Homo-oligomer: A and B are copies of this chain.
Amino acid sequence: MGLRVSENDFYSLHGMWGAYASLILGRIGKGAGLVIGNVQPPQRGLFIGYRLGAETPWILPFCPETKIGLDASAYVDPDAPAKPMLSPADFSYFPQETIERSLSLSGEEWKAGLLSFKVTSFFGSVADPVSADPSLLRQQLRPALYITLTFDNSKKSEPLIGVFGMQGVRRPLSDSTNGTLLGFAHGTEWGFACLPDESIEEVMDWRAIDAAFNGNRPIRRLASEGVLRIKVNPGETKMVHIALGVYRDGIITSGLRTQTYYSSLFQDLEEVLDSALRDTAFMLATAAELDKGLEQSSLSDDKKFLLSHAVHSYCANTELLISEKGDPVFIVNEGEYQMMNTLDLTVDQAFFELVYSPWTVKNELDFFLTRSSYKDAYGIAFCHDQGVADSFTPVGTSVYELPHLSECFSYMSFEETLNWVLTACLYISKTGDIQWFSENRHHLEACLASMKTRDKNQDGIMDIDSDRCAGGSEITTYDSLDVSLGQARNNLYLAVKSWAAYVCIEALFRQYASDSVHIIESARISAQWAASTIQSRMLPEGYIPAVFESDNRSKIIPAIEGLVYPYICGWPELVSEQGPFGSFVKTLQKHLQTVLQAGSCLDSVSGGWKLSSTSHNTWLSKIFVNQFVAENILGFTDPELYRDAVHAKWLRNGSAQWAATDQVHSSDGHDMGSRLYPRLVTSILWYSYMGTSKNCSF
C-alpha cells in the first residue's frame, strides 16, 4: 500500500481536517507529536516499537533527547544516595536503512522488523455543515486521525511486547472514562486512545518506554510520558487501532468571537476519541478507497508523492470555526506565517476544495466579501488576509499589507481582486450554484468596474496602484521574488491573470446572465486589450519579458499561469489555439518553449523548474499550476520535461524539516520561505482535472 519513498527522513503534517491540528512526524532522530493551533514540529518523543522475548527492544527513531516535564529527581532529595527508580530498557533504534516508509493520499506507513505503523488522516470529502446531517458531520468534522499498529509475531516462539506512546501527556484516559478508553491525554487538549482489550495496558512513568518493557509498575500520574503496552502471543499477529484526537473549548479567536466547529458536535476530547474508535472500520475503508484511486491513476510515483504530501500539509492548516450566530467560518492558515485565509492562496487552493469541499470555497468568498473587501479610490478591492494566529483583523484590513512600500508587505489590492473574481468564477462554474451567482453578480460587476478603473490607459493591464499604498506600489503574491514577479504594475504574470479574469467574467455572464450585454462586452474588450498588449511585448528572442518597463529581460514561467482559470471553469475554447484567443495562446506557448531551458527557467544544477530566470527562489505550488497548464493546455507532452523526481526530492531532502514547503531554492530544494504550507495542493490539478475541459484541443 502506498508509495515507498527512498529518502525517508522528512516531516509530514498529518492534519485533522478543520481542526488546525496535526500529528507531525517523520524526521529521524527528531521529535514528533500532536500540535494544535500551529504547524511547527514539536520536540517530543513518539514511542513506537516492541520487544520480542528477552531481546533488546526496537523503537522507531522518533525520540529526541529532550526531556518533557519534571523527572523523578525533582521529587526526591538530589543529595540522597542515588537509587535507580527504574532500570533502563537499553533499547535500540531501528537504523534508518532498515525502515520502509510509504506515503498514500490518506496517510503513510512505516515498516520495520515485525512492526507496521500506519497513519490515516485524510478521508476525502467533507460535507457542508449548513445542510449535512449531524451524524455525517460528526464523522467528517471529527478532530481525529487513526494509527494502525500491526505486530507480526506469527513466526516467533516468544511473546512480544508492543508499545505506542508519547511524551507530554499528563493523564491516563481510563481515569476520566472509567476504563472505556485506554490511552493518555495532555489536559483537555489532545490525546490518544484505543478501546479496552485485555492484552493492552496503560503505562505512565518517568521513562514510560523503560517501564513498559520492564514489567509491572503502577501508573505514575506525575510523569509526562504515557505508553500503551500491547501483549502479542507467540504465533499471533496483532493489529491495534488507536485514535489520536484534539479538542479546544470556548472562544478561541479574537476580533470575531468563534469556537471550533467540532465543539458544537462533541463535548470533549474523550467523546471525540470514543466516537472515532467506534467508526474505525468505516473510516479506514473510506481512506482505502481514496488510496486505491490515486494508486490506480496514471500519475508518476513522484507526482503521487507530491500530491499526498501536499494534502496532508493542507489539512493541517484548515480550521473550521463557528460564530456566535452559529455560522460556519472556514479558514486555511498560512503555514509558518499563520495568516488566516490569505486570498492569494485561496484562489490556488480552490482547485482542491472544489473537489473535496466546494462549500468551503463559497464560505471563503462570502466571508471575504463581508470581512475583507474595501473601497479605495478606484472601487472595490480585497485584502491580502483576514488575520494571523487566530486573531481576526478589523473589517477591511489585513495583517500583511502596509503603506509606503514597493516590495514585500505592500498592498496586493489588484491581484486580490482578481483572485476573488477567479475564485468566484471557479466556484460557480464547477458547482453550477446559480443562486450564489445571482446573489453575488453585482459584486462581480463591481470588481469588473474596479479592475477597469485601474487600467487607466485601456491596454487591459493595471496601471494605477491603490491609494492605500500611500505612494508605494502594489505587489503580487510572488512577494519574496525579485521584481520579475514581485511588482504588480506592468507585470506579465499579472497581465495574463487579468486577461483570465476578464474572459472568465465574460464567459460566466454569457452563460448565466446572457442579457447582461454591457458587462459581457466590457469584459470582452478589456480581455482583448490585455491579450493584444501582452502579445505586443513579445521579443524577437521568442519570449515576453517579465516586466514591461525598465528594459527588464527576466524570463518567467507564470506568464502562462492565468490560462488555468478559463480551462478549469470549462471554457477550453478560450485557451485553445483554435479559439478566439488562439494567437495569444500560441504566443504564450512560444514563450514557454523559449524560457523552459536549462539556465533560464530550468535550474542548471538540479534541472528543476525555476519560476523566474533571475531568481533562485522557486515556488512548488505555482510550478504545479504551471505544469498543468503546460501539459494540458499548451500541449507540452514530454513527461521528461516535468522533472517530478527533482521536485519530490526537493521536499523529501532539501526541505525535509518543513513538510510541504512552497518557496525553495532551485538548486537543491532547500527551504527559503513558506514552510509547512497548505498551497501545494494545486497538485490536485494533475489528479482530478486531467481532461476536465472536454473540448480541449490537445
Contacts and interface: CB of A to CB of B under 8 A. Distances in A.
A32 B403 CA distance: 33
Given A170-B391, A482-B80, A74 B185 contact: no
A337 B170 CA distance: 12
A624 to B, nearest CB: 21
A221 interface: yes
Q: Bin the interface of chain A by size.
A: 35 or more
B394 A175 contact: yes
A100 interface: no
Between A249, A391, A404, the greatest number of chain B beta carbons within 10 A of the residue's beta carbon is seen for: A391
Contacts of A367: none
Contacts of A336: 70, 74
A78 to B, nearest CB: 6
Interface string A216-255: 0010111000000000000000000000000011111111
A75 B188 contact: no
B171 A391 contact: yes
B402 A220 contact: yes
A221 B391 CA distance: 10
Nearest to A393: B175
A249 B390 CA distance: 14
B218 A402 contact: yes
Interface string A481-499: 1100000000000000000
Contacts of A75: 337, 408-409, 479-480, 673
A400 interface: yes
A547 to B, nearest CB: 16
A187 B390 contact: yes
A546 to B, nearest CB: 15
Contacts of A482: 77, 80
Interface string A241-271: 0000000111111110101000100001100
Contacts of A263: 250
Given A389-B170, A391-B171, A672-B79, A252 B480 contact: no
A616 interface: yes
Contact of A253 (B188, B393, B394): B188
Interface in A46-77: 70, 74-77
A138 to B, nearest CB: 19
* Among A77, A175, A479: residue with most chain B CB under 10 A: A77
A388 interface: yes
B221 A388 contact: yes
Given A75-B337, A221-B393, A615-B77, A185 B480 contact: no
Contacts of A402: 218, 220
Contact of A268 (B251, B393, B616): B251
A491 to B, nearest CB: 17
A131 interface: no
A617 interface: yes
B222 A388 contact: yes
Nearest to A174: B394
A176 interface: yes
Contact of A249 (B187, B249, B388, B389): B249
A588 interface: no
A565 B252 CA distance: 47
- Copies of the chain in the assembly: 2
A203 interface: no
Nearest to A260: B250
A339 interface: yes
A592 B607 CA distance: 85
A556 to B, nearest CB: 15
A288 interface: no
Interface in A661-687: 665, 672-673
Nearest to A480: B77
Nearest to A672: B78
B77 A185 contact: no
A402 B222 CA distance: 11
Contacts of A170: 388-389, 391
Contact of A480 (B76, B220, B255, B393): B76
Contact of A222 (B76, B175, B390, B400): B400
A76 B400 contact: no
Contact of A221 (B249, B257, B399, B408): B399
A206 to B, nearest CB: 11
A399 B391 CA distance: 37
Interface string A314-351: 00000000000000000000001101000000000000
Interface in A372-418: 387-391, 393-394, 399-400, 402-404, 407-409
Contact of A77 (B187, B220, B254, B673): B673
B339 A222 contact: yes
A191 to B, nearest CB: 9
A476 to B, nearest CB: 14
B337 A222 contact: yes
Contacts of A188: 251-254, 390
Interface string A596-626: 0000000000000000000111000000000
A358 B387 CA distance: 45
Contact of A251 (B249, B387, B404): B249
Contacts of A70: 336-337
Interface string A467-482: 0000000000001111
Interface string A617-643: 100000000000000000000000000
Nearest to A79: B616
Contacts of A481: 77
A392 to B, nearest CB: 8
Nearest to A269: B254
Interface in A121-139: none
Contacts of A77: 480-482, 615, 617, 672-673
5 contacts: A77-B480, A220-B409, A221-B388, A249-B249, A249-B251
Interface of A: 70, 74-80, 170-171, 175-176, 178, 185, 187-188, 218, 220-222, 248-255, 257, 259, 263, 268-269, 336-337, 339, 387-391, 393-394, 399-400, 402-404, 407-409, 479-482, 615-617, 665, 672-673
Closest 4 CB pairs of A and B: A250-B250, A249-B250, A221-B399, A171-B391
Given A75-B480, A175-B394, A187-B252, 9 more contacts: A74-B336, A187-B254, A188-B253, A218-B402, A220-B409, A221-B399, A222-B337, A222-B388, A222-B399
